[in-house]
């Protein structure tokens, strides 16, 4: 599903250049639930941003479903992100001017008809346990509920891959457990491919495989028992 070839990301120029990622090569299969782990500054989030088309690498290639996504124009990348990828951010990233329901269906407004995306948004909110909170605004729900809303939003367009960047970092233990359980359920029941950055050792028990990053390099890959 995802193949990364010789990926580099360098910030800055000349002597001020920082190698965030160096010669990354990896592969993620369809239906996998993969965690990217490593210490702070190891390049986890940078790698996820590149895979999620939020940033561009300095060198290398990323293929999703056999297609080199780096050759896409800015417009095509936007469309690709909209149709094929879902993204859950580290911190609450809802649009404060919209209700929970509107936050969920807004990515679908460009693609589908109103009835279908509203219905799907309501179903997704039911799935993440927020059916009753649909008409609330983000500042009226808890951090965990906001993050569950973000997950529902990320799933609205039936993405091929769901990226999550430390989705439980800002949450208490109980809320974090709910989010991880939700990911696990999604992965098991719908075969959703999930790539999650995390620094929580506890999270490893939920995933199929861990990709370790250390100083911008891929370290050992580990497969954890479910």
Q: Give the binding site for other proteins (CB under 8 A).
A: 49, 54-55, 74-75, 78-79, 81-83, 85, 87, 89, 93-98, 102, 106-107, 109-112, 137, 153-154, 157
Please state, in angstroms and rounded to a whole number, the distance separating the CA atoms of residues 160 and 162: 7
What is the four-CA torsion angle of 155, 64, 52, 15, rounded to 10 degrees?
170
Question: Cβ of residue 157: shortest distance to other proteins, in angstroms?
Answer: 8
Least Å distance, CB 185 to other proteins, is 22
Least distance (Å) from other proteins to the CB of residue 8?
17
- Between CA 207 and CA 203 the distance in angstroms is 7
**Which of 11/132 has CB closer to other proteins?**
11
CB of 175 to other proteins, least distance (A): 20
Sign of the CA dihedral with 68 first, then 38, 34, and 144 last? negative
Q: Which residue lies nearer to other proteins by CB, 83 or 122?
A: 83
Nearer to other proteins, 157 or 192 (CB): 157
Cα 201 to Cα 93: distance, rounded to the nearest angstrom: 24
- Whichever of 186 and 210 has its CB closer to other proteins, that residue is 186
Least Å distance, CB 114 to other proteins, is 8
Q: Rounded distance, CA 65 to CA 211, Å? A: 20
- 128 vs 54: CA distance, rounded Å: 25
User: Do residues 134 and 100 lie in contact, with contact meaning Cβ atoms separated by under 8 Å?
Assistant: yes
| Complex with other proteins: residue 27 or 65, whichever CB lies closer | 65
């Amino acid at each position: 599903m995802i193949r990364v070839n010789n990926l580099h990301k360098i910030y800055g120029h000349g002597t001020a250049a920082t190698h965030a990622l160096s010669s990354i090569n990896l592969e993620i299969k369809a239906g996998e639930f993969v965690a990217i782990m490593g210490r702070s500054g190891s390049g986890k989030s940078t790698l996820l941003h590149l895979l999620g088309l939020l940033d561009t690498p300095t060198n290398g290639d990323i293929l999703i479903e056999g297609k080199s996504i780096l050759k896409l124009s800015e417009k095509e990348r936007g469309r690709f992100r909209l149709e094929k990828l879902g993204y859950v951010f580290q911190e609450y990233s809802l649009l404060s001017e919209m209700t929970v329901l509107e936050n969920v269906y807004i990515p679908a407004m460009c693609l589908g008809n109103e009835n279908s995306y509203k219905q799907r948004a309501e179903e997704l909110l039911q799935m993440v346990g927020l059916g009753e909170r649909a008409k609330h605004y983000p500042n009226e729900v808890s951090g965990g509920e906001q993050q569950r809303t973000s997950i529902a939003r990320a799933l609205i367009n039936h993405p091929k891959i769901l990226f999550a960047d430390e989705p439980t970092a800002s949450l208490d233990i109980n809320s974090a457990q709910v989010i991880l359980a939700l990911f696990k359920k999604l992965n098991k029941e719908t075969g959703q491919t999930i790539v999650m950055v995390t620094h929580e050792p506890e999270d490893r028990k939920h995933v199929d495989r861990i990709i370790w990053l250390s100083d911008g390099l891929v370290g050992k890959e580990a497969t954890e028992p479910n």
